[in-house]
Amino acid sequence: AGLVLLLAALVFGAWYAPLLKAAASVPRLREDVARLEAENAKVRELAAALDSVELRYDRLREMVGADIVPDPIALAYSLPLAPPVYAAAPGPRAAPVTGRTLPNRWPLDAAGYMTRGLVPAGGSEEAHTGVDLAVTIGTPVRAVGGGTVLDSGNDPEYGIFVLLSHPDGYASKYGHLSRSLVRTGQLVDAGEVIGLSGNTGRSTAPHLHLEIRQGDETIDPLTIVNEDLR
């Protein structure tokens, strides 16, 4: 009988000891579960906050027209570029001519590189309505002709710009400026400084974008602007 009791005690101890050990670990397991649940809750909060930030960012892009302004790196590869041409305006600068005149003067004092020329609409390449002259930010930009400031403002495409009207239905536009120095309705003379070059709007590098139109027709500035007149 004593042997039986001893064996029973040994069996009971072998079976009950793990139960005691498991029971003792329950509070620690509960603490681990609670800690993991708290951490998961924080992760969910962070994920929700990130979703909210992304939603507000997308709405902000829509408000400011960010879809119109492509990624600069992607844009640099997508826009066709004309071969670089060293464009300098030789000789001394002539005195400003007063009154309304045709847009035939060079717009820059400094030398520059023409990085892109006029690309007519309807071709395989994306249309480009003027010429791009690479110059450092802050370069004085002069009116190519005397006239009236039709508009001066800022938009996603041209950035800070100035639009002038000239005789015979001509108009000239200067884009991507860092600053406009004129106001709408102001009369300016040919050769007068109307702004400073920059890198605003849809622009991948500092340059001046120059457009010339006659009525609804886009004119290649290089066919009318005389580099000897600056």
**pLDDT tens digits for range 125-179:** 666 778 889 889 999 999 999 999 999 999 999 999 999 999 999 999 999 999 9
3-state secondary structure of 148: strand
Q: What CATH class has 72-223?
A: mainly beta
Residues whose CB is less than 8 angstroms from the CB of residue 123 and which lie 6 or more positions away in sequence, other chains included: none
- What is the per-residue pLDDT across 39-87, written as a single tens digit (0 to 9) for each? 667 667 766 766 776 777 666 555 544 444 444 444 444 444 444 444 5
Per-residue model confidence (pLDDT) at position 45: 72
Q: Where do the structural domains in the chain lie, given as residue ranges? A: 1-63, 72-223
Give the chain's mean pLDDT.
76
Per-residue model confidence (pLDDT) at position 151: 96
Q: Are 63 and 56 in contact (CB under 8 A)?
A: no
Residue 9 has pLDDT above 60, yes or no: no
